[in-house]
Amino acid sequence: MKITPVYNWIKNNLSNSCLLCLAAPDEAQSNICHACLADLPWQQACCARCALPLPHASTRCGRCLATPPAFCHAVVPLLYRFPLDALIPAFKYRRHNRYGLLLARLLADHLQQHLAEPEALIPELLVPVPMHPKRQAQRGYNQAFELTRDLAGALHLPCRAGLLLRARQTAAQEGLDAAARRRNLRGAFTCPHPAQLEGLHLALIDDVMTTGATLDEASRTLLAAGAASVQVWCVARTP
């Protein structure tokens, strides 16, 4: 069997189906049905500063009370559990763009509600967490930038890549504990054009928040370059 006919059948017959169960969507232009949307591992209670899942809602977790992160708060609507632990790697490492569009939509929908709150701080610029050029060349793209671009369009906010760069190629964070992650990331970022960040309120975008070490170090770099504040937006949070 030729691959092209199979590909065309999948494209034409499954492109409008729910990405998780392949059922017909509940509304036009939707890539997830209402049942699957409701079954996603939504955050229920978390630290208001770093979005760490907690038994009950709290203004600060113990870690944030002891060592507050540089960012002012994190907005992370989902937990890194099934099916997010399959969707995100497929988007991140295998460039399944339809999964990326779904992830961006889930985050954007949550952020629209968050930013509508009276006390919400609306960022003036969205900044993706950068990859080192060598790693990005190997992978072919930066999933954080892809998310940022989709979020910018959905929320009608500007985004800029190149204002925050990886100054050095760090070892992979997977498998490292929190202290080792922080050591690994010291001096990892740089801002080549600090004048373009002066006085701006920023949102730093990434796919998954684990210990928060990467986002903390990146936020410190942005603040040192002159940003007024940095908040963090991610799709999913690990426990």
Confidence of residue 151 (pLDDT cuts 50, 70, 90): very high
pLDDT (0 to 100) of residue 12? 42
Assign 184 a pLDDT band (cuts: 50, 70, 90): low
pLDDT of residue 198: 96
Cβ 64 vs Cβ 50: under 8 Å: yes
Confidence grade of residue 1 (pLDDT, cut at 50, 70, 90): very low
- Report the percentage of the chain scoring pLDDT > 90: 63
pTM: 0.87
Model confidence pLDDT, tens digit, residues 153-177: 999 999 999 999 988 666 555 555 5
State the pLDDT at residue 86. 94
Q: Is 111 found in the same domain as 181?
A: yes
For residue 230, pLDDT beyond 50: yes
Q: Which CATH number goes with the domain that contains 167?
A: 3.40.50
pLDDT at 60: 87
What's the confidence (pLDDT) of residue 9?
41
Range of 88's domain?
41-237
- pLDDT tens, 200-226? 999 999 999 999 999 999 999 999 999
pLDDT band at 11 (very low <50, low <70, confident <90, very high): very low
Q: Distance between CA atoms of 115 and 59, rounded to whole angstroms?
A: 18
State whether 21 and 46 are in the same domain: no
Same-domain check for residues 51 and 97: yes
How many domains does the chain fold into? 2
SS (H, E, C) the chain: CCHHHHHHHHHHHHCCCCCCCCCCCCCCCCCCCHHHHHHCCECCCEECCCCCECCCCECCCHHHHHCCCCCCCEECCEECCCCHHHHHHHHHHHCCHHHHHHHHHHHHHHHHHHHCCCCCCCCCEEEECCCCHHHHHHHCCCHHHHHHHHHHHHHCCCECCCCCEECCCCCCCCCCCHHHHHHHHCCCEECCCHHHCCCCEEEEEEEEECCCHHHHHHHHHHHHCCCCEEEEEEEEECC
**Rounded to whole angstroms, how far apart are CA atoms 141 and 103?**
16
- Let me know whether 117 and 49 are in one domain: yes
Do 83 and 13 lie in one domain? The reply is no
Residue 24 sits in the same domain as residue 109: no
Q: Are residues 3 and 115 in the same domain?
A: no
Q: Please tell me which residue, 139 or 69, carries the higher pLDDT value.
A: 69
Is residue 26 located within the same domain as residue 57?
no
Same domain for 31 and 45, yes or no, is no
Q: What is the pLDDT of residues 34-81, one digit of tens each?
A: 999 999 999 999 999 999 999 887 778 999 999 999 999 999 999 999
Return the pLDDT at 140.
83
Lowest mean pLDDT among 7-11, 35-39, 125-129, 154-158: 7-11
